Chains A and B, each alone.
Chain A
């Protein structure tokens, strides 16, 4: 005011925001922010321990409270509210980049299965109830892992077969014609190379060559192989 060279005597800094020179935070502001941060910490702990909004709700609440605390730190402790706006711009740009980074990754993780043949095809009738649907998805997922570990070496990762080793399984008449139980039975027994029914002359070992595969696991593999079939596939006459 009267003497810009000594603008900030102790205790008067906050009252005169329009003085020349850098802004000096008042003790009251800093203490208030500190107490508010402590209070929000207590609220965060309390709500996380006492309330149950479901997994997602709890996370949103905790992150929301953390964001409030973070904003207070940025505005008052880091002085962004009083400082050059360009620093705020820099920091917000960074948060925008972070949001893109997290957001697009989550979109990917959330939707990756949608372009997987498992989810896009509906060759197998899908149980309507949610629990059944969940069991069905689980069986497919387990079946895929089992397929990759036990079958893919001969029948190929995409189940289209490898010449001189395993048959193509996609759109294959035998697969389409047989019932689930018949397919499970077939995989359990396998087929020797000189069997008259053999189409390739290559043996199919019992249980795909892995005696540790349980019948249930083989059924899961069948669920997976079924899901790979094209929607409109019909067995050749």
Chain B
């Protein structure tokens, strides 16, 4: 193992100062390019996955415009959606900041920003389950054949709810996975795995997290507002 040039001779090297390059890569730069490109390819599939929900929304909105125009106000509270939007935007901001922290070797700020991000993600999930999903389950505002809500005004209310549940639950699952990934990052940050030379995992999870935010940016107005 090569010795690390360091100004502090007495201090043992932190893991991030000694990045590992897998043997099948010619250089660390190549390894990072490949890793990031893989992440971007994965993200394109994510966008296309959610594209299916947006397509379903567009088709049914075109077929039943009267149902969809009233459904946001009837079934959803825009304030909860707006709060969750702000929370996700904040978490995107802190994750972007955490990459900067790693690049500048600000280990404490890195941890703090990751903790804020995780807290935002958990807040999002709790709000969703407690204030949105649970009351809907109780009232029977459920997708497809589970729909037992008695106050439905049109035959197509359940179509809106089916799209709402499918899209937001898939999105929520992504948030939950994000919580685990971010926790993994936090543990690694505590072990000093990230620094100016080594922050690819941070960047890649960050990209994933931004796409989760990006999708919510489009889901929010379509489901809660217009």
Say yes or no: B217 contacts A48, CB within 8 Å. no
What's the nearest-Cβ distance from chain B to residue A25, in Å? Answer: 6
Say yes or no: B90 contacts A70, CB within 8 Å. no
- Indicate if B226 sits at the interface (CB-CB under 8 A): yes
Dominant secondary structure at the A interface:
helix
List the B side residues contacting A25 at CB < 8 Å.
Answer: 96, 99-100
Say yes or no: A66 contacts B65, CB within 8 Å. no
- Indicate if B106 sits at the interface (CB-CB under 8 A): yes
Say yes or no: A110 contacts B62, CB within 8 Å. yes
- Indicate if B10 sits at the interface (CB-CB under 8 A): no
What is the bound-complex CA distance between A31 and B201, given in angstroms?
23
Say yes or no: A84 contacts B226, CB within 8 Å. no
List the A side residues contacting B146 at CB < 8 Å.
Answer: none
Dominant secondary structure at the B interface:
helix
Tell me which residues from 59 to 112 in chain B have a Cβ below 8 Å from any Cβ of chain A. Answer: 59, 61-63, 65, 69, 78, 82, 85-86, 89-90, 92-93, 95-97, 99-100, 103-104, 106
What's the nearest-Cβ distance from chain B to residue A75, in Å? Answer: 11
List the A side residues contacting B37 at CB < 8 Å.
Answer: 86-87, 90
Please give the number of chain A residues whose Cβ is less than 8 angstroms from any Cβ of chain B in the complex: 50
What is the bound-complex CA distance between A74 and B207, given in angstroms?
9
- How many residue pairs at the A-B interface have CB separations less than 8 Å? 134
Say yes or no: A66 contacts B218, CB within 8 Å. yes
As a 0/1 sequence over residues 36 to 61 of chain B, the CB contacts with chain A under 8 angstroms (1 = contact) are: 11001101100110010011001101
In the complex formed, the residue of B with least CB distance to A102 is: B55
- Indicate if A94 sits at the interface (CB-CB under 8 A): yes
- Indicate if B213 sits at the interface (CB-CB under 8 A): yes
As a 0/1 sequence over residues 36 to 63 of chain A, the CB contacts with chain B under 8 angstroms (1 = contact) are: 0110010011001100000100110011
Assuming the contacts A73-B210, A87-B37, A105-B59, asked whether A8 and B103 have C-beta atoms less than 8 A apart, the reply is: yes
Say yes or no: B93 contacts A44, CB within 8 Å. no
What's the nearest-Cβ distance from chain A to residue B97, in Å? Answer: 6
- Indicate if A65 sits at the interface (CB-CB under 8 A): yes
Chain A residues close to B by CB (< 8 Å): 8, 10, 13, 22, 24-25, 27, 30-31, 33-34, 37-38, 41, 44-45, 48-49, 55, 58-59, 62-63, 65-66, 69-70, 73-74, 76-79, 83-84, 86-87, 90-91, 93-95, 97-98, 101-102, 105-106, 109-110
